[in-house]
Amino acid sequence: MTAPRKATIGDVARHAGVSKGTVSLAYSGKRPVSEETRQRIFDAAEELQWTASHRARALATSRTGAIGLVVARDPEVLATDAFFSKFISGCERVLAEHDMGLMLHAVTSSEAERLVYERLAAGRADGVILLDVQVEDPRFELVQRLGLPAVVLSAEEPTGGETAGLPTVYSDDSPAVTELVGRMAQAGHTRIAHVAGPDHYIHGRIRREAFAAAMREQGLDGSLVVEGDFTAASGRDATAQLLDRADPPTAILYANDMMAISGLSLAHSRGLRVPEDLSISGYDDSELSAHLSPALTTVSTGAVQRGQIAVTTLLAEIAGEQPRHVLADHTTVVPRGSIAAPPGTPTRTAP
């Protein structure tokens, strides 16, 4: 039962009667190997059940074959984030093609976070993707000092060096928010509120600014904003605060699905019908949002595609290509049943 020593490239070479170099070449194809010896080598490898040692290859090539992803969020929040796992799945898709993997790190302090990046830079990963970017994120400087290739994922175009020159995969969250406000206004709503994400997150801030701008365009008062933190708890509390007002909103635009769903639930429990009494929208297109009753109007973020693009961009940078910013916009509004005319609207306002 004691594990037999694993075969090495040397064993295969000996077995096939060639040099180690030739075995290596037969697999990499970096230089031609005669069909005959190639076959001998494959047979020997098969017989010895040999697979190249990843560790040895990593040292020889100075490439680890992994990229790093560090998440500095409470696991509770991570759990409920529809974006995250779709994003990872997109990353995997292209990593697999390149025979690479994803090193995931969950940290809870910024001290631990710094340490993790240092370890990654010490050869545990060939590069990293920076998620949940904050305004003037300290990681920008950190990765550059560490010489660690990185791409940042942002919700706005880094026109003025917002991402410190690091290659950035960005989308623009604004149009979807504008469209959502437009739909609500069109349905006849005037008192529209926004439950925002934290302002220090770019995607929190952008969605909020887009809300304000869209309301202004519609000639409406865009000041009814409550800041949440993307958790269900904060969604419920913010909603309670809004509904408790003397002049409660007739529509609420939430910065993510999670907050929208707990908000929806609270509204229901207060006897409000959605969408008849209250219209709402989310952001993220989580699986749950599509199967609620009524289903939640939300925004699909193209998370899988962004994962793919982010990794592709990172690999290009690692390969030494000139870093560039790339627009990855698959953001689109998914209209579902949670928006209707406000209460008291005549059944049909024919044009």
Partner DNA sequence: CTGAAAGCGCTTACAG
User: Considering only residues 9-38, where is the footprint of DNA by CB under 7 A?
Assistant: 9-10, 17-25, 27-28, 30-34, 36-38
Listed ranges 21-29, 99-107, 131-139, 214-222: which one lies at the site for a second copy (CB under 8 A): 99-107
Contacts of 122 (CB under 8 A, 6+ apart): none
Kindly tell me which of 31 and 324 has the beta carbon lying closer to DNA.
Answer: 31
Classify residue 114 by its DSSP letter. Answer: H
Nearer to DNA, 45 or 195 (CB): 45
Give the 3-state secondary structure percentages of the chain, helix then strand then coil, rounded to 5. Answer: 45, 15, 40
Q: How many Cα atoms are found within 13 Å in the side-chain-facing hemisphere of 224?
A: 24
DSSP 8-state symbol, 107: -
CA distance 98 to 318: 13
Q: Near DNA by CB under 7 A, which window of 49-57, 78-86, 154-162, 164-172?
A: 49-57
Q: What is the DSSP letter of 3?
A: P
Largest CA distance in the chain: 88
In the complex, what is the shortest distance from the CB of residue 266 to a second copy, in angstroms, rounded to a whole number? 5
The footprint of a second copy on this chain (CB under 8 A) covers a number of residues equal to: 69
Contact yes or no for 252/263 (Cβ under 8 A)? yes
Q: Between 234 and 273, how does the x/- string for binding to a second copy read (CB under 8 A)?
A: -xx---------------------x--xx-xxx-xxx---
Out of 52, 213, 220, 334, which residue is the one contacting DNA (CB under 7 A)?
52
Taking residues 132 to 151 in sequence order and writing x for each that binds a second copy by CB under 8 A, - otherwise, the string is: ---------------x----
User: DSSP readout, 253-267?
Assistant: EESSHHHHHHHHHHH
CB 103 within 8 Å of CB 66: yes
Q: What is the CA radius of gyration of the chain?
A: 26
Q: How far is the CB of 33 from DNA (least distance, A)?
A: 4
Among 2, 49, 62, 347, binds DNA (CB under 7 A): 62
First to last CA, the chain: 82
* Integer Cα distance of 181 and 64 in angstroms: 47
Could you tell me which stretch among 76-84, 172-180, 189-197, 247-255 binds a second copy (CB under 8 A)? 76-84
Rule CB under 7 A: say whether 56 interacts with DNA: yes
59 forms part of the interface with DNA (CB under 7 A): yes
Contacted entry of DNA, a second copy, none for residue 106, CB cut-off 5 to 8 Å set by kind: a second copy
Interacting residues toward DNA by CB under 7 A: 6, 8-10, 17-25, 27-28, 30-34, 36-38, 50, 52-53, 55-57, 59-62
